Amino acid sequence: MVVNIGVLGFQGDIEEHVEAWRNASEELGVKTNVLLVKKAEQVKQIDAISIPGGESTVIGSLSERMRVMGALKEAILGGLPTLGTCAGLIVLAKRSKDAVVTEKTQPLLGVMDVEVERNHFGRQNDSFEADLKIPVLGEKPFRAVFIRAPIITRTGPGVEVLAEMEDGIVAARQANIVSTAFHPELSGDTRFHKYFLKDVAKLV
Ligand code: GLN
């Protein structure tokens, strides 16, 4: 069996997501076909999807303009396993606020019952790395890369917190949806992707 994984292909660190899926599936011994999703009809061809980090306003507006937003929303609500990293987390969230320009509306899928604050860590300290405790990945800390990262400020009742820092929640799961404020695709550690493929998407 070949597993089809989509990466929303409009903007952001798309290639890094493709690479991370390839590495994780190879390590798990799963045959994977990774495709860039840019059209609504492609949403029907995939078993899981990831939404990259980048600029959430651009990813959201292009998804809307290219008419992928509606199909994707329906699929995720119907159970499509979905991983959103950084900007991807913002696009999946019910509500977003910007730490700099507080009330700014942007097109969101709105499928995950969380509220996020964009650019939480500000401009002066907009990139850093931290060792996180992520219990679903085991004992060994996970080196997490944060780039102009958001933070989760509120979670609904169906949302499980996967990782937290002093500032707030940085990884969470709601059934088939997993989101991170950091970039697991950039750390070279495939544990997060393997967890997603095995425990969330159940494709292994
Ligand atoms: N600051 C970006 C946004 O608000 C997210 C940054 C990232 O994905 N690395 O969309």
Q: Flag whether 147 is marked binding.
A: yes
Query: Distance, CA 87 to ligand 1 centroid (Å)?
Result: 4
Nearest residue by C-alpha to atom 9 in ligand 1: 147
Q: What is the pLDDT of residues 122-146, one digit of tens each?
A: 876 689 999 999 999 999 999 999 9
Catalytic residues: 86, 183, 185
Q: What is the pLDDT of residues 20-71, one digit of tens each?
A: 999 999 999 999 999 999 999 999 999 999 999 999 999 999 999 999 999 9
Averaged confidence pLDDT in the chain: 95
Note down the domain range covering 67: 2-200
Q: Give pLDDT, residue 102.
A: 60
**Total domain count, the chain:** 1
Handedness of CA 193, 45, 179, 196 (dihedral sign): negative
Query: Distance, CA 29 to ligand 1 centroid (Å)?
Result: 32
pTM of the model: 0.96
Query: Distance, CA 86 to ligand 1 centroid (Å)?
Result: 6
How distant, in Å, are the alpha carbons of 3, 49, 71, 79, 154 from that of 33? 6, 12, 21, 20, 35
How distant, in Å, are the alpha carbons of 45, 54, 108, 141, 179 from that of 93? 24, 15, 7, 26, 9
Measured CA angle at 74 (ends 71, 53), to 5 deg: 70
Percent of the chain's residues with pLDDT above 90 = 92
**Does ligand 1 have an atom closer than 6 angstroms to the CB of 108?**
no
Please name every residue paired with 152 in a beta bridge, in sequence order, or none if there are none: 116, 169
Report residue 170 as tokens: 């940085």
| Helix axes of 56-65 and 69-77: crossing angle, nearest 10 degrees | 100
Mean pLDDT computed over 69-82: 98
Mean pLDDT computed over 86-115: 90
- Residue 181 sits in a domain whose CATH number is 3.40.50.880
Q: Give pLDDT, residue 104.
A: 67
82, 177 Cβ separation under 8 angstroms? yes
Q: What is the pLDDT of residues 167-194, one digit of tens each?
A: 999 999 999 999 999 999 999 999 999 9
